């Protein structure tokens, strides 16, 4: 079946612009996660959705970052007033359930964001 998909695969934007990154999880997966991976580092947690609600947004770095999942499927990560430090690969993952560590998270290919 189809895996997690993310669009666009690459995004180049100018400092100060607004961007939206999209994640389409595996059908039926109720849990959805966003992570950010800077060059040479491991992914860092940003936000977790269980269904439509953000159950944990403790990883969002500041109020320029926001994410939604209005129908409990597709999610959009929104970044306002982008800064050069936001340049990274943004990863999305989905899982059949969020609670409990026994459920594998399936990762998408990521969106590489470059802020010039």
Partner 1 sequence: GDSVTQMEGPVTLSEEAFLTINCTYTATGYPSLFWYVQYPGEGLQLLLKATKADDKGSNKGFEATYRKETTSFHLEKGSVQVSDSAVYFCALISFAGGTSYGKLTFGQGTILTVHP
The label of the residue with tokens 């459920």 reads 103
The label of the residue with tokens 């612009």 reads 17
CB 110 within 8 A of CB 90: yes
The binding track of 68-107 with respect to partner 1, each residue x by CB under 8 A or -, is -----------------------x-x-x-xxxxxxxxx-x
- Contact window for partner 1 (CB under 8 A) among 18-26, 50-58, 67-75, 79-87: 50-58
53 binds partner 1 (CB under 8 A): no
Compute the Cα dihedral for 96, 99, 102, 107 and give only its sign: positive
Distance from C-alpha of 47 to C-alpha of 27, rounded to nearest angstrom:
19
Interface residue with partner 1 among 25, 36, 110, 111 (CB under 8 A) is: 110
Element (H, E) at 37: strand 31-37
Residue ranges that bind partner 1, judged by CB under 8 A: 3-4, 31, 33, 35, 40-45, 48, 50, 55-56, 59, 91, 93, 95, 97-105, 107-110
């Amino acid at each position: 079946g189809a895996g997690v998909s993310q669009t666009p695969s690459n995004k180049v934007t100018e400092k100060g612009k607004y961007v939206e990154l999209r994640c389409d999880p595996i059908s039926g997966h109720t849990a959805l996660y966003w992570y950010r991976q800077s060059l040479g580092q491991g992914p860092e947690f940003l936000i977790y959705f269980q269904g439509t609600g953000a159950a944990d947004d403790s990883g969002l770095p500041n109020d320029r970052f926001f994410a939604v999942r209005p129908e409990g499927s597709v999610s959009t990560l929104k970044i306002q007033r982008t800064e050069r430090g936001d340049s990274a690969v943004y990863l999305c993952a989905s899982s059949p359930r969020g609670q409990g560590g026994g459920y594998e998270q399936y990762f998408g290919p990521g969106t590489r964001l470059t802020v010039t």
